[in-house]
Amino acid sequence: MSTPSEAQHQKVREAQQILKELGLPKAQQSTRTALVLLAMFGLEPEEPWSAVRSNALGITECMDWMADHYPLVKKGRTDPTRYKPNSRESIRRKSVQQLISAGALIANSDMPDRTVNDQNNRYEPTAIALEALATFGTPRWEVELQRFHDEYGILRERWDAERESHRVPVALPGDEEDITLSPGKHSELIRAVVESFRTEFTPGAAVVYLGDTGDKWIVKKEDYLRQLGVTVDAHGKMPDVVLHYADRDWLVLVEAVTSHGPVDGKRVDELKALFKDAKPGLVLVTAFPDKATFRRFARDIAWETEVWIAENKTHMVHFNGERFLGPYS
Residue 78 pLDDT: 41
CA–CA separation, 154 vs 160, rounded Å?
10
Contacts (Cβ under 8 Å, ≥6 apart) of 108: 114, 120, 121, 122, 123
CATH class of the domain whose range is 6-165: mainly alpha
Residue 127 pLDDT: 93
H or E element that contains 286: strand 281-288
**What is the number of residues in the chain?**
329
Residue 159 pLDDT: 58
The structural domains of the chain, with segments of one domain joined by +, span: 6-165, 168-318
DSSP result, 9-75: HHHHHHHHHHHHHHT--GGGSSHHHHHHHHHHTT--TTS-GGG-----B-HHHHHHHHHHHSTT-ST
CATH number of 168-318: 3.40.1350.80
Residue 74 pLDDT: 55
pLDDT per 10-residue tile (average), the chain, 329 residues: 68 94 84 94 95 94 91 53 73 89 86 69 93 96 92 63 75 79 86 93 92 68 88 78 94 90 93 93 96 94 95 91 70
Task: Specify the pTM.
Answer: 0.56
- Amino acid letter, residue 194: V
* DSSP annotation of 300: G
